[in-house]
Structure 1
Amino acid sequence: MKTNNKTFFKRMLGAHSGLGLAVSVLMYIICLTGTIAVFFQEFERWEQPEIAEYQRLPATAMTNAVNHFYREVDSHEKPLYIVLPTEALPRAHVSDGEHEWWLNVDGSLAEKVASHWTHLLTQLHINLHIPNNVGLVIVGILGVMLTALIISGLFAHVRILKDAFRLRWGGTGQQQQIDLHNRLSVWALPFHLVIAVTGAFFGVVGLLIFAATSLYYQGDQQALIDDVYGGDPVIAAHNNHINFEQALKNLTEIAPAAKPIYAVIQKPKTDTQYLEIAAEFSDRLIYSEVYRFDATGKYINHQGFSDGPVSRQAIYSVYRIHFGSFGGYLVKMAYIVLGLSLTVVCVTGINIWLNKRGLVNWINYAWSAFVWGVPLALTTSAISAILLTQSELFAFITTLVVALAWSLRQKHVKQINQTLIRLLLLALVLLLSTYAIVHSQYLLTSAAMIINGFIMAWFILCLGFERYYCHRLVLDEVAVEKTKVSIA
């Protein structure tokens, strides 16, 4: 009987460890893809470099875009968006959420938007590519967990100031994993906490809306949304077409500092259609203010994201704070560095736990496979997206599954890390080579130079890991058995 109990608890412990690893894997994927997704707009341009780029779309072109769109799409039940060019994405596109085209500067339709790999990247970060808001809630819960980990880790580190610049190297590698984990956690603490809290907000906002509507709005979700974002205006019936030129002219008079970033026709092709123009402010963190105009271009009102209740302004500032969409490329580079530090904290945290166990089993092999298999899968999926449209998800999953299966069969932590890093280095070279061959005439465009330079930087970083991490930081099976260093 005792033997059966011992076996049962041993199995339960293994299941618990496996669950802990699964959560860590999801956290790692979110942190890594979030770091890379800082350049998501540049990646969109990189994927389709042949699209014409410009800084301004005239009002007449917006009218042409609407006409061209409805020649291709019969349905007009959904709001129609015209996303205007910006510094980060100097090209326009039109979309009803289902059909989407890039626009030429005269408003004619160019190629269909086909940023499939960028979509894969952003969806992995936002909802782990799980549909029906389930993934979004999971990511939100992980954000809450990350917030709790950051706060608890802060209080658990009693020598936070004394050890702020202590970084010990050498030995088996466990101590430097601990120091690296603790130092990066402390140095980038404000950033990590902001990212965790805002990420949690994105994920759990749906649950909060459900709870709030049940408690305070008798289940009327639209009433809550109207209170937060403002309700729809009352429009008198008319038969006018949308006058973009007059609306933009009036916007300039109402808010001369506002820069339009997109326009949306609400209730299109009806006698109560109206126009919303979202405009950003260079000195504000809010994503935008939304100004409303009737079809003739007459100003109706604005939603109060820039001057309404503080809570509304705060909610509409979360996006820019979380994704670093403010301050230009200096802020983006800072977010990449800080995001990478959070990714390293995630990895070293699990490494410390694995090493402290004093044994090596399938969990060690699976963790190594995911740490290097995920960036490898992202790279092979990018190659696949360049060569074959809509193959990126299959390539990502296949690469990750093969890496995991091979690692579990290999059963040697150091060899797994070395091999997967070298495969990643090879894949990065192949990615640059493939892009250079397929898009040779666009290599000197700004987006291509930014992203290809970004890929080269990843190559250099991974090369450094190959030279150092595999030989110094990863404990092999013998070292693990001998390591008993305390995390404190």
Structure 2
Amino acid sequence: MKIRVRSDILHLYRELHSWVGILAGLFLFVAFYAGAISMFEQPLQDWATRPPVLPAPVSLSRTPELIERALAAHPEAAAGYSVILTPAGAHPARLEWSDGGGRHHHGRGGATVFAALDDHGALVTARQPASTAAGFIDVLHQQIGLPLPHDIAMPIMGVIALLYATALTSGTLVFLPTLARNLFSLKLFGSAQKAWLDLHNLLGIFSLPFHIVMAVTSVVFAFHEQVFVVQHLTLSTPPAMHRPHPAAGAPPVAALPPDAILAAIARQAPGVAVDSIDYLQSGRAMRISVHDPRYSLRGPTSGFATVDPSTGRILSRDYLPGQQPRGMSVITVFFALHFGSFGGTPVRVLYLLLGLGGAALFYGGNRLWVVARRRREQRDGRVRDSLGTRLLDRLTPGWSFGCVGGCSAVLCAAPLVADNGSGSVFAALFYGVFTAAVALAFVVPQRLSEQAPLWLASVLTLAVAPIAVLARPVSSGALLLAGAALLLGAGLAALARRSGRREVPLTSRHRPRPVQAA
């Protein structure tokens, strides 16, 4: 059955797809590329953070002794400390607390104090700033690269997401009538324009469900405060994060030891694995971070629940995997589909590949627009590219590969800077490389405006590989990072070599001779 659409409607949708894509594409490139990296934010943070020197973690049965000694020596920790069930990576000790906003801000600023007992039972602590490199790349993803306050950047991101959804709809309607013919006539190694067009169509149609999910969930995130207000008004019970906490003046309660809390949780929520137990407000409140491979998670790596510290009874199941109220589970699905926080590592790898494919989709869309616009201008008799064509021709590679090179520069610096680095250091590094790539694209001859930023991004990406295995103790995570950097860097180098065969700009063609009158 053939799908027939009037030619004027197809033309309208094609123009809509092109212009909306141009407006949103560069921002979406940053969001997708940085988002692909952020799929492994926690492993990257573990790798980038310089590990403290501590005795081996105490057993869970000795944790009350550790807590008692730690609170005696550091009474300020009573405001909020965490027991880690499986110490590893960025959480190497059984007990930790933060002087930068609590454990859940770990990696986004401040420092964490880790506590352990030596062989003689003496308290040993280490204060360690966490690397903010991976967290910076995640914020870059959330804010589509905008160096603005979060409250300002998010609504702008929401508008870009709405444009993104419009481009998806119009592009699908344009491609649908010729779906079968186009799918079976792909030529990725022919002319540059045909290769970009076929790659653009291939990536777009096969990753369409993923892009629909990203567009819808991004709009939800951009305006989530309004969503929570409606949710608060419509649900019978307010979400846990909005419920009143125990009064600060209430007398402390005798909190159960960690092993008793775990036993109580196992009875009430079979199958749920507890990652950490957070003792808050001098033991007056408690929150547990959990995961369950059978269900979607509210956060990128965990769900959570509030617990009565004196009995272990679960007080709120709003974000507890598999036991949420219907309204809250709908919100969790939106978060899980965006974060890829379901299905474990295979889903994260899939999201990584889809994110990189999405970035290629947006870059290819802009390249196609430039080529089509240039040929149209040539048919109209122009002997020089229009200002808009020249600007986008140079801005697209500078912006896109400036983002790639900037992220690679951040990863190169992450294990090398003192005290694991602050967000401002990585921001200055990223935007410095980004600006340099854009400037490079505008100052070199036009035929090199794509090739020069590509080589810059390739060199910086390849540099991640030796740093990954030399700057930190060799681990499986470091080897995987090095391998990924080598593959991506080599791919960028191959693309740089191929870019010499790109469409020739009108400015470099000979001006046609006027026809002599007879």
Normalised by the shorter chain, which TM-score bucket? 0.7 to 0.9
Q: Quick check: 2:21–2:163 contact (8 Å CA) kept in 1?
A: no
Q: Does 1:274 align with 2:285?
A: yes
Q: What corresponds to 2:489 in structure 1? A: 459
Q: What corresponds to 2:408 in structure 1? A: 379
Q: What corresponds to 1:14 in structure 2? A: none
Q: Quick check: 1:168–1:175 contact (8 Å CA) kept in 2?
A: yes
Give the counterpart of 1:243 among 256, 273, 278.
256
**The residue matched to 1:431 in structure 2 has which SS?**
helix
Greater CA deviation, 90-99 or 300-309? 90-99
Q: Quick check: 2:64–2:257 contact (8 Å CA) kept in 1?
A: yes
Give the counterpart of 2:331 among 315, 318, 337.
315
Q: Quick check: 2:297–2:342 contact (8 Å CA) kept in 1?
A: no
Give the counterpart of 1:146 among 164, 168, 173.
164
Q: What corresponds to 2:503 in structure 1? A: 475
Q: What corresponds to 1:416 in structure 2? A: 449
Q: Does 1:134 align with 2:152?
A: yes
Q: Does 1:345 align with 2:345?
A: no
Provide the rounded CA distance (Å) in 2 between the counterparts of 1:332 and 1:446.
Answer: 17
Q: Quick check: 1:86–1:261 contact (8 Å CA) kept in 2?
A: no
Q: Does 1:197 align with 2:197?
A: no
Q: Deviations over 1:8-56 (max 9, x none)?
A: xxxxxxxxx9998564321110011011111111111110253589999
Q: What corresponds to 2:479 in structure 1? A: 449
Q: Quick check: 1:56–1:85 contact (8 Å CA) kept in 2?
A: no
Q: Deviations over 1:70-103 (max 9, x none)?
A: 95684876x6555654899774654414644164
1:213-292 to structure 2, matched below 5 A, reads 227-229=238-240, 232=243, 237-245=250-258, 246-266=260-280, 268-269=281-282, 273-287=284-298, 290-292=304-306
**The residue matched to 1:404 in structure 2 has which SS?**
helix
Q: Compare CA radii of gyration and give the structure with the larger one.
A: 2
Q: Quick check: 1:69–1:94 contact (8 Å CA) kept in 2?
A: no
Q: Quick check: 1:378–1:396 contact (8 Å CA) kept in 2?
A: yes
What is the identity, as a one-letter code, of the residue corresponding to 2:451? Q
Give the counterpart of 1:206 among 225, 236, 250.
225
The total of aligned residue pairs comes to 448
What is the identity, as a one-letter code, of the residue corresponding to 1:406? L
Provide the rounded CA distance (Å) in 2 between the counterparts of 1:121 and 1:292.
Answer: 30
- Distance 1:125-1:86 versus aligned 2 partners, 3 A rule: farther
Q: Does 1:27 align with 2:57?
A: no
**The residue matched to 1:357 in structure 2 has which SS?**
helix
**The residue matched to 1:312 in structure 2 has which SS?**
helix
Q: Quick check: 1:140–1:203 contact (8 Å CA) kept in 2?
A: yes
**The residue matched to 1:279 in structure 2 has which SS?**
strand
Q: TM-score, normalised by structure 1?
A: 0.79
Q: Quick check: 2:265–2:314 contact (8 Å CA) kept in 1?
A: no
Measured on the aligned residues, the alpha-carbon RMSD in Å equals 3.7
Greater CA deviation, 43-52 or 226-235? 226-235
Q: Quick check: 2:440–2:452 contact (8 Å CA) kept in 1?
A: no
- Distance 1:248-1:198 versus aligned 2 partners, 3 A rule: same
**The residue matched to 2:182 in structure 1 has which SS?**
coil
**The residue matched to 1:112 in structure 2 has which SS?**
strand
What is the identity, as a one-letter code, of the residue corresponding to 2:261? A
Provide the rounded CA distance (Å) in 2 between the counterparts of 1:427 and 1:66.
Answer: 48
Q: Quick check: 1:33–1:122 contact (8 Å CA) kept in 2?
A: yes
Provide the rounded CA distance (Å) in 1 between the counterparts of 2:88 and 2:51.
Answer: 18
Provide the rounded CA distance (Å) in 2 between the counterparts of 1:354 and 1:346.
Answer: 13
**The residue matched to 2:183 in structure 1 has which SS?**
coil
Give the counterpart of 1:58 among 57, 60, 73.
60
What is the identity, as a one-letter code, of the residue corresponding to 2:198? D
Q: Quick check: 1:101–1:109 contact (8 Å CA) kept in 2?
A: no
Q: Quick check: 1:18–1:363 contact (8 Å CA) kept in 2?
A: no
- Distance 1:243-1:116 versus aligned 2 partners, 3 A rule: same
What is the identity, as a one-letter code, of the residue corresponding to 2:36? T
Q: Quick check: 2:406–2:434 contact (8 Å CA) kept in 1?
A: yes
Q: What corresponds to 2:8 in structure 1? A: none
Identical amino acids, percent of aligned pairs: 18
Provide the rounded CA distance (Å) in 1 between the counterparts of 2:504 and 2:65.
Answer: 65
Q: What corresponds to 2:458 in structure 1? A: 425
Q: What corresponds to 1:486 in structure 2? A: none
Q: What corresponds to 2:348 in structure 1? A: 332
Q: Does 1:181 align with 2:200?
A: yes
Q: Quick check: 1:140–1:204 contact (8 Å CA) kept in 2?
A: yes
- Distance 1:62-1:205 versus aligned 2 partners, 3 A rule: farther
Greater CA deviation, 347-356 or 80-89? 80-89
**The residue matched to 1:317 in structure 2 has which SS?**
helix
What is the identity, as a one-letter code, of the residue corresponding to 1:35? A
Q: Quick check: 2:115–2:124 contact (8 Å CA) kept in 1?
A: yes
- How much has 1:111 moved relative to structure 2? 4.5
Provide the rounded CA distance (Å) in 2 between the counterparts of 1:160 and 1:88.
Answer: 47
Q: Does 1:368 align with 2:397?
A: yes
- Distance 1:467-1:63 versus aligned 2 partners, 3 A rule: farther
Give the counterpart of 1:438 among 460, 463, 471.
471
* Structure 1 alignment gaps of length 5 or more: 1-16, 218-222, 483-488
Provide the rounded CA distance (Å) in 2 between the counterparts of 1:55 and 1:423.
Answer: 44
